[in-house]
């Protein structure tokens, strides 16, 4: 590993092999950093959370392998005895991003310059946040979802969806992201139908979920798939802040 002479690495920090800590970085408190991570200038990981409930309890930041943190990104340790702020593997965290206490970031996410994640935010695997996105505390952004730049998220964004706006609205399926991730055309077609039931029908959320379970899921399973629909339904069923149901019309999406 390489540690720049101007970096500060406190005694309880664990660094994985192959990692690089750049100039003026500060790793403090309890931090477990995985293999082959790269920290550019001024990255700060493990600082005390900006949470008035924090009372000095022993908490930790756990970071997986192969992550890149660009200039002046910050990650705070958790609130609550034994709690963790967790970042998975293969993520790119760009300049001036802030990841607050108790956040959980999956694998393969892209968090673009200036994004601000409030406490307890969760990002699913492969989620993509455009520049200057703000995410309210306790919100979740699902697997392979994308949020456009300058957006404000204050409700859960379901997996596989494209969202943008202040506040966010669902703009359709994240087609490009799904294709890049290798999601099959059949699965994408099923997700598009599910999106229509959720956002472009007269059904309420509960009735739309029932229709997806009854009408779409059996067909998807019969075709040898169904995993994406199951994850979508599981995500909706676990919402705390509520699912984002504001959406563009189909005509607006087409434009």
The domain that holds 41 is classified in CATH as 2.160.10.10
User: Which of 152, 177, 202 delimits the end of a domain?
Assistant: 177
Same domain assignment for residues 64 and 129: yes
Mark 101-131 as b/e (b = at least 16 C-beta within 10 Å). bbbbbbbbbbbbbbbbbbbbbbbbbbbbbbb
Same domain assignment for residues 241 and 154: no
Same domain assignment for residues 156 and 204: no
pLDDT of amino acid 255: 62
Domain presence at residue 255: no
The list of the chain residues with pLDDT below 70 reads 250-255
d(CA 160, CA 96): 26
Same domain assignment for residues 66 and 104: yes
pLDDT of amino acid 250: 65
Same domain assignment for residues 42 and 127: yes
Same domain assignment for residues 98 and 200: no
Structurally, the chain folds into a number of domains equal to 2
Same domain assignment for residues 6 and 39: yes
Query: What's the CATH number where 234 sits?
Result: 1.20.1180.10
Domain presence at residue 253: no
pLDDT of amino acid 5: 98
pLDDT of amino acid 251: 65
Same domain assignment for residues 83 and 164: yes
Same domain assignment for residues 59 and 149: yes
Q: Which long-range CB contacts under 8 A does 4-10 form with residues at least 24 apart? A: 10/46
| Whether residue 177 has a cis bond before it, omega within 30° of 0 | no
pLDDT digits (tens, 9 = 90+) for 129-172: 999 999 999 999 999 999 999 999 999 999 999 999 998 999 99
Spacing of C-alpha 136 from chain mean position: 12
pLDDT of amino acid 128: 98
pLDDT digits (tens, 9 = 90+) for 9-23: 999 999 999 999 999
Domain extent, residue 136, equals: 2-177
Which H helix or E strand runs over 171?
A: strand 169-173
pLDDT of amino acid 55: 97
Same domain assignment for residues 198 and 158: no
pLDDT of amino acid 107: 98
pLDDT of amino acid 249: 76
Gap between the terminal Cα atoms of the chain: 49
Same domain assignment for residues 141 and 228: no
């Amino acid at each position: 590993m390489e540690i720049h002479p101007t970096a500060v690495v406190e005694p309880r920090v664990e660094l994985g092999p192959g990692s690089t800590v750049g100039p003026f970085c500060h790793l403090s408190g309890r931090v477990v950093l995985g293999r082959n991570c790269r920290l550019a200038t001024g990255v700060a990981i493990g600082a005390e959370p900006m949470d008035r409930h924090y009372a000095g309890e022993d908490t930790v930041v756990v970071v997986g392998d192969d992550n890149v943190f660009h200039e002046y990104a910050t990650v705070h340790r958790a609130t609550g005895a034994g709690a963790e702020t967790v970042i998975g593997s293969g993520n790119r965290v760009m300049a001036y991003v802030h990841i607050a206490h108790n956040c959980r970031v999956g694998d393969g996410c892209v968090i673009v310059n200036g994004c601000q994640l409030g406490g307890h935010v969760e990002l699913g695997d492969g989620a993509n946040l455009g520049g200057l996105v703000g995410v309210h505390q306790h919100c979740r952004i699902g697997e392979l979802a994308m949020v456009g730049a300058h957006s404000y998220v204050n409700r859960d964004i379901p997996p596989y969806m494209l969202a943008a706006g202040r506040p966010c609205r669902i703009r359709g399926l994240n087609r490009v992201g799904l294709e890049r991730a290798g999601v099959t055309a059949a699965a994408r077609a099923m997700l598009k139908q599910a999106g229509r039931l959720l956002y472009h029908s007269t059904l309420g959320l509960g009735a739309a979920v029932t229709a997806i379970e009854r009408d779409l899921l059996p067909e998807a399973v019969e075709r040898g798939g169904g995993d994406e629909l199951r994850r979508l339904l599981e995500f909706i069923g676990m919402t705390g802040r509520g699912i984002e149901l504001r959406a563009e019309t189909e005509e607006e999406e087409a434009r």
